[in-house]
């Protein structure tokens, strides 16, 4: 079983929303922001703009097999939270 947790990061432009990132423990997944434009983002009382993203929370370990252009890999996904960035604010547990 798996769940997710939502976090927010301060951004300054639509270009920031194009960023993707990896978690070395799950190299087959790219993480992205939920919003596609600054118009969709949260703006606080100080006029700072925040984009949200979801992590992946795994509760029970399992194996996953994924393919790249020239190889197939099988990895063990252990319980934990994946895709977490630095400098975040949690929105929900």
pLDDT of residue 92: 46
Spatial separation of the C-alpha atoms in residues 77 and 70, rounded to whole Å: 22
Spatial neighbors of 61 by CB under 8 A, at least 6 apart, are 76, 77, 78, 79
pLDDT of residue 33: 97
pLDDT of residue 93: 42
In a structure prediction context, what are the per-residue pLDDT tens digits for the chain, which is 93 residues long?
A: 569 999 999 999 999 999 999 999 998 899 999 999 999 999 999 999 999 999 999 999 999 999 988 899 999 999 999 999 876 555 544
Nearest Cα neighbor of 50 from 40, 59, 58 is 40
pLDDT of residue 54: 96
Q: Would strands 2-11 and 89-90 be described as parallel, antiparallel, or unpaired?
A: antiparallel
Spatial separation of the C-alpha atoms in residues 2 and 86, rounded to whole Å: 22
pLDDT of residue 69: 87
């Amino acid at each position: 079983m798996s769940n997710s947790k939502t976090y927010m990061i301060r951004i300054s432009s639509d270009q920031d929303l194009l960023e993707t990132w990896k978690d070395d423990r799950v190299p087959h997944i790219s993480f992205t922001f939920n919003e596609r434009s600054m118009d969709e983002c949260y703006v606080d009382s100080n006029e700072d703009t925040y984009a949200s993203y979801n992590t992946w929370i795994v509760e029970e370990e399992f194996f996953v097999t994924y393919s790249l252009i020239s190889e197939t890999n099988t990895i063990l996904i252990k319980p934990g939270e994946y895709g977490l960035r630095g400098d975040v604010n949690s929105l929900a547990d």
